[in-house]
Amino acid sequence: MSKSAGRRGKTRALLASGLVLGVGAAFTLAAWTDNEWVFGGAGPGSDTPGTKIYAMEQNTVAPFAEASWTDEPEANGGRLDFTIKAASLLPGDTVYAPFQVRAKAGSEALTVSLAEAVQATNPARGDDNSTALYDALRYRAWVGLDAADCSAAGDKTAGTVLVSANSPLDTLGADPFALAAGASGAAGAPVNLCFAMTLPAGTTDTDLQGKNVVPLWRFTSVTGQ
């Protein structure tokens, strides 16, 4: 074998050896890989990303004890007490029902609207839930009117009109109102409301006698707007 041929053979052998060594080194480096994981946090503590509570609750039982607060997201919901007189209305009678709403404990501040006013479907329509009586009745409503003034003799000037006088029962609220968030996770300060319902003095339809009705109102709230 010539010297040049021998050198070429050695070179090929070294190159081959180098390729083998190179592949082996790559596998060795992969075995030394180190991983680092991270997760999402919120601030310097142990909190993680999430959402706050955005909810309100109602109190329809004057004088509004703490135990009387409830959450009523479904129809028919909480029962407004228009007093016993509401069960035997005569033309010209007006009955009143005070109640409160507030932001629940831990909730953000809310903007509230009287967003729906309808006749209930439960119970079924008929004398126990008369559409004719629903159409005949009128109401008005205030925000910020204390329970003590939610009466025929009460001073209504402190309240803001939510529904104007002589409105049909399906009338929505004129303007939204605010519910403040509570401090340190507590419930927010309650907002007083007052509904007044009237059978107009000019009502002459004798077919309305002996009828009952279930009017419904839905308050809805939003936040972040």
List the structure tokens of 1. Answer: 């074998």
Model confidence pLDDT, tens digit, residues 175-186: 999 999 999 889
pLDDT per position as a tens digit, 83-124: 999 999 999 999 999 999 999 999 999 999 999 999 999 888
Q: Can you tell me the distance from the alpha carbon of 102 to that of 105, in angstroms, rounded to the nearest whole number? A: 9
- What is the pLDDT confidence band of residue 33, given thresholds at 50, 70 and 90? confident
Alpha-carbon gap, residue 115 to 95, rounded angstroms: 22
Positive/negative CA dihedral, 133, 134, 139, 142: positive
Predicted TM-score (pTM) of this structure = 0.81
Six token digits for residue 136: 């005949």
Residue type for position 93: D
What mean pLDDT is reported for the chain? Answer: 88
Sheet holding 215-222, edge to edge: 177-179, 110-119, 215-222
What's the pLDDT score for residue 197? 97
Report which DSSP code applies to 210: T
Averaged pLDDT, 179-204 = 95
pLDDT computed for residue 129 by the predictor: 94
What is the helix (H) or strand (E) element at residue 21, kind and residue range?
helix 3-30
What is the predicted pLDDT for the residue at 45?
86
Contact of 80 with 195, CB cutoff 8 Å: yes
47, 41 contact by CB (below 8 A): yes
Listed residue (143, 115, 145) closest to 222, CA to CA: 115
* Mean pLDDT of the region 45-67: 91
Query: Per-residue pLDDT for 13 more than 80?
Result: no
Predicted local distance difference test score (pLDDT) of residue 165: 97
Q: What percent of the chain has pLDDT over 90?
A: 73
Judge whether 20 and 13 are in contact, CB under 8 Å: no
Cα–Cα dist 129/214, whole Å:
6
